[in-house]
C-alpha cells in the first residue's frame, strides 16, 4: 500500500495547487488527480448537489489503487466538514490545515477568509476557528467570479478585469486590518501575486491547497505510508471535459507544463 497513489480531486483545476506542492515535498509519490471540469463551479451549487458530486469524485478515485484522498476543493471541504465522505482511508480537505497555519501566523488575531459563495455561506471556517481559537476574529468574503476568471486564463498580474474585481472583493477585508488572509479556494493561489499586491506586504497569504499537501505528508509519515520507491513519482490526470483545455490552462496552476498522462473520463 505504501506505493499506491495519493488521490486528489477538485471541481476543476484549482486542486492542482495542491498537486504542485505535493510534487515539491513528496517527489517520489504517484498522484492521481480528478478534475470535474464539466461541472465547475461547485461553489454556486446547493449543499445536496455538492455532496453528490463529491461522492462521485471519490468513487472515481477509488477505481485506482490509492492510499489517501485529498479533497482539494474549498467548497467540498466546507460542505463535507459535517458530512464525512471518506472514513476508511487517510483523508483531508483544505479547511483544517489552512486554519492551523493561519492561526499560527496571525499576531493581531484578525484573519480574513475568501472563498466561493458555498464555502462562505457554510460558515465552516468561522465555526472551526471559533472551536479552537475563540479569541480570533474572522472576516469572511465570498468571491464568486474568481474561479471563472482563473479557469478562463484571466490570471495576469496586470489584467485590468481581474484587478478591478479583486479590489472590490478585498476592500471590506482590508478595512478590517487583518494580518492573515486564507485563500479558501484552491483556484485563488494562481492570482496570489495580485491579491497580495492589493492586500499589502504586511498581510500573509495562506494557500489552502498547499497546506493540505503539507498535512498529507505529515499524515502519511505518521502512518508509515510514505512511498519507499527511489525514482520520481508519476502524475496521472483525469478530467470530465476537454483534455486539451485542461493541458492548456493547467500550467498556470502547476507553474510548469503538464508532465504526465491526461485522460477524459465520464465517471
Place of cell 502512518: 223
Distance (Å, rounded) from C-alpha 90 to C-alpha 216?
8
DSSP 178-214: -SEEEE-STTGGGGHHHHHHHH-TTSEEEEHHHHHHH
Answer yes or no: 103 catalytic.
no
Answer yes or no: 143 catalytic.
no
Catalytic residue among 103, 143, 185, 219: 185
Distance (Å, rounded) from C-alpha 163 to C-alpha 261?
34
Q: Which is it for the CA torsion 242, 244, 245, 250, positive or negative? A: positive
DSSP 40-65: ---TTS-HHHHHHHHHHHHHHHTTS-
Ranges of beta strands (E only) in the chain are 5-10, 31-35, 66-71, 91-92, 110-115, 137-142, 180-183, 204-207, 235-239, 261-264
Distance (Å, rounded) from C-alpha 110 to C-alpha 173?
10
Catalytic residue among 73, 103, 143, 219: 73
Other beta carbons within 10 Å of 215: 20
Report the DSSP beta bridge partners of residue 235.
Answer: 31
Catalytically annotated residues: 73, 185
Amino acid at each position: 500500500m505504501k506505493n499506491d497513489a495519493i488521490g486528489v480531486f477538485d471541481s476543476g483545476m484549482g486542486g492542482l495547487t495542491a498537486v504542485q506542492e505535493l510534487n515539491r515535498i513528496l517527489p517520489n509519490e504517484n498522484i492521481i488527480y480528478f478534475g470535474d471540469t464539466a461541472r465547475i463551479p461547485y461553489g454556486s451549487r446547493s449543499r445536496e448537489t455538492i455532496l453528490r458530486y463529491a461522492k462521485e469524485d471519490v468513487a472515481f478515485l477509488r477505481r485506482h489503487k490509492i492510499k489517501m484522498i485529498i479533497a482539494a476543493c474549498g467548497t467540498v471541504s466546507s460542505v463535507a466538514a459535517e458530512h464525512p465522505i471518506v472514513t476508511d482511508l487517510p483523508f483531508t480537505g483544505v479547511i483544517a490545515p489552512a486554519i492551523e497555519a493561519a492561526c499560527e501566523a496571525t499576531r493581531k488575531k484578525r484573519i480574513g477568509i475568501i472563498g466561493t459563495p458555498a464555502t462562505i455561506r457554510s460558515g465552516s471556517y468561522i465555526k472551526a476557528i471559533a472551536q479552537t481559537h475563540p479569541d480570533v476574529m474572522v472576516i469572511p468574503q465570498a468571491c464568486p467570479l474568481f474561479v471563472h476568471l482563473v479557469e478562463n486564463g484571466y490570471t495576469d498580474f496586470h489584467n485590468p478585469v481581474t484587478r478591478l474585481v479583486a479590489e472590490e472583493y478585498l476592500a471590506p477585508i482590508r478595512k478590517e486590518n487583518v494580518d492573515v488572509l486564507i485563500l479558501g479556494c484552491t483556484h485563488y493561489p494562481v492570482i496570489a501575486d495580485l491579491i497580495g499586491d492589493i492586500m499589502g506586504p504586511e498581510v500573509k497569504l495562506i494557500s489552502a491547497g498547499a497546506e493540505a499537501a503539507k498535512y498529507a505528508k505529515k499524515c502519511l509519515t505518521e502512518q508509515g505510508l510514505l512511498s519507499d520507491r527511489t525514482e520520481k513519482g508519476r502524475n496521472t490526470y483525469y478530467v470530465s471535459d476537454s483534455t486539451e483545455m485542461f493541458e492548456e490552462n493547467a500550467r498556470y496552476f502547476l507553474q510548469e507544463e503538464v508532465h504526465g498522462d491526461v485522460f477524459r473520463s465520464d465517471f
